[in-house]
Amino acid sequence: MIEKLNSIKEEALNEIQDVNDETSINNFKSKFLGKKSAFSDVMSGMKDLSAEEKKNVGMVSNEVRSFIQDLIDKKADSIKKEGLNKKLEKDKIDVTLPSKKRRAGTKHPLTQVREEIEDLFISMGYDVVSGPEVDSDENCFEKLNLPKSHPARDAQDSFYITDDMLLRPHTSSMQVRYMTSMEEKHAFKMICPGKTYRRDDDDATHSHQFSQVEGLVVGENISLSDLKGTLECFAKRMFGTGREIRFRASFFPFTEPSYEVDVSCFNCDKKGCNICKHTGWIEILGCGMVHPNVLENCGFDHTKYQGFAFGAGIERIASLKYGVTNMRDYFTNDYRFLKNFDRKEI
């Protein structure tokens, strides 16, 4: 029996070499120490032995069992370590590789231009005012000297929500709100940037939605020269210090006299190019002295107060500044377009 046990030990020692994973280690265990193993047969034969023999065989069998168990434990341990090493090798991180670039969000080009305009006027003491995009016919037209029958309404034919409420066709409705809400009338300077809506056929230079910035200054002794000086400052800030402006007579119902304002072409310096359509000048905004009717409609005594007003399209200013040829690019959110205005990259 002792010989049998020793040969089991010998066999186990040989076979452990071929054990290399969890399944084979379980098979090995059941083959050498399981219920149907040769070792188990020897154990069950012990009952027929004498006391002395039992003692000897018992000692050897204990020694063989713990030898085999030891083989199993060591093998299981080394298989586990090997698995871990393989996993570590596979998951190895190369800390010297360059990191993935993360792009931070940036402001929309129209927001950037609007804020640049706001900064300029804030520095000149203007309030920046915002308000509802749906407003009454009275605020959008009536009080601005555009009664219901006025032909100039056709140019601003708009999106009505009800008979009296509409998507504002210009931010001038905010000027009306600002003036009428003032309890004690006094001199002021304000700009009102915001979205506006007019019925239009969308193409590269027209859109049913666009944004405006309008300005209004009311006070005593306000003259056309104040308006000219202000707009010259605006043109130089937006298009460069060398720019000149010129006024052309025009018509708006809410101003008298009214003007279209051109800026000298920043691309060709008045020599003529595609941007200025070979005229040397680019139209940038409309303006004029506030019509006395508008002042009266909003509760201001026109014999005491005068004022000037101007309005520019933010898309137009942005397009001129950045050479954008299709204004739909501002609204379609194509990342390839927007990333041109992304100045931050980390």
276: contact with Zn ion by CB under 5 A: yes
- Shortest distance, position 247 Cβ to Zn ion, whole Å: 19
Q: How far is CA 104 from CA 97, 112, 346, in A?
A: 21, 16, 7
287: contact with Zn ion by CB under 5 A: no
Instruction: Please pick, from the candidates 24, 267, 338, 341, the single residue that binds Zn ion as defined by CB under 5 A.
Output: 267
268: contact with Zn ion by CB under 5 A: yes
A 10 A CB-CB count for 334 gives 10
265: contact with Zn ion by CB under 5 A: yes
Rounded to 5 degrees, φ, ψ at 345 are: -140, 125
37: contact with Zn ion by CB under 5 A: no
Indicate the residue among 43 and 273 with the shorter CB distance to Zn ion.
273
Write each residue from 64 to 103 as x if it is in contact with Zn ion (CB under 5 A), else as -, in one continuous string: ----------------------------------------
Tell which positions 132-161 bind Zn ion, by CB under 5 A. none
From 45-53, 129-137, 181-189, 268-276, give the range in contact with Zn ion by CB under 5 A: 268-276
- Shortest distance, position 239 Cβ to Zn ion, whole Å: 11
Indicate the residue among 87 and 270 with the shorter CB distance to Zn ion.
270
**Cβ-closest position to Zn ion:** 265
Indicate the residue among 276 and 327 with the shorter CB distance to Zn ion.
276
- Shortest distance, position 312 Cβ to Zn ion, whole Å: 19
From 203-211, 260-268, 312-320, 331-339, give the range in contact with Zn ion by CB under 5 A: 260-268
At CB < 8 A and 24+ separation, what contacts does 261-268 make? 261/231, 261/235, 261/285, 261/286, 261/287, 261/310, 263/235, 263/239, 266/239, 266/240, 266/242, 266/320
Binding site for Zn ion (CB under 5 A): 265, 267-268, 273, 275-276
